[in-house]
Amino acid sequence: NAGVTQTPKFQVLKTGQSMTLQCAQDMNHNSMYWYRQDPGMGLRLIYYSASEGTTDKGEVPNGYNVSRLNKREFSLRLESAAPSQTSVYFCASSVSGVNEQYFGPGTRLTVT
Amino acid sequence: KQEVTQIPAALSVPEGENLVLNCSFTDSAIYNLQWFRQDPGKGLTSLLLIQSSQREQTSGRLNASLDKSSGRSTLYIAASQPGDSATYLCAVYAGNNRKLIWGLGTSLAVNP
């Protein structure tokens, strides 16, 4: 089992460019999450999907959109990247919200 | 508002020492508490999940305790090894907003 996979691993964008971060899990989990991790601020939830077909905002949703494409895949889109979105982005999944979360390896995004 | 604090922020110990990492939370209304490990440049790995009704959980050399009434959890690492060097994060699942609330982590260095 691959667990949670994320692509790309690294990305550099110019201000105003758009991109989509991809996430997939092969554990048949219902819930999926997108976090960003910044020094001194810890992990912050951007969006989550409690089950296929649903998405909800987390703490810091502004500037992002998500799509739960099917049970396996949950993508995060930056429509117009800003330097403040420079961060490490993690995708995670769990059987349900109260269960332990499994994380992907992360995407390191730099916006210049 | 639930807040999670981890003390100390950084810890350096010689190999073989038993050590305790601390996590405190402000609201005792939690479903569970989870401990994670993060290696530099990598994703997070779940170590232990303690349900709110439990007092402790053990996995190998790791033992996590939970005292909900005082808002505290400890992660005990026995006979530490250089391979234990990583950042350890705790997070509480607060059911009313259906998400994990994260601490900033303790960065542990175990010196040979």
pLDDT in tens, A56-103: 999 999 999 999 989 999 999 999 999 999 999 999 999 987 788 999
Q: Are A56 and A47 in contact, with CB atoms under 8 Å apart? A: yes
Determine the distance in angstroms separating the CA of B88 from the nearest CA of chain A, rounded to an integer.
12
Q: What is residue B70's predicted lDDT score, i.e. its pLDDT? A: 95
Determine the distance in angstroms separating the CA of B44 from the nearest CA of chain A, rounded to an integer.
6
pLDDT digits (tens, 9 = 90+) for B37-61: 999 888 999 999 999 999 999 999 9
What region, left, alpha or beta, does residue A95 occupy, with left being phi > 0 and alpha being psi -120 to 50 degrees? Answer: alpha
Determine what percent of chain A is predicted with pLDDT higher than 70: 99
CA angle A73, A79, A82 (to 5 degrees): 120
B99 or A51, higher pLDDT: A51
Interface residue ranges in chain B relative to chain A, Cβ cutoff 8 Å: 31-32, 34, 36, 41-46, 49, 89, 91, 93, 95, 98-100, 102-105
Q: What is residue A2's predicted lDDT score, i.e. its pLDDT? A: 82
For chain B, give the mean pLDDT: 93
Nearest to A9 by CA among A90, A94, A112: A90
Q: How does residue B96 score in pLDDT terms, banded at 50, 70 and 90?
A: low
For chain A, give the mean pLDDT: 94
Q: Residue A85, SS3?
A: helix
Of A4, A98, A106, the CB nearest to B93: A98
Q: What is residue B95's predicted lDDT score, i.e. its pLDDT? A: 64
Contacts of B92 in chain A (CB under 8 A): none
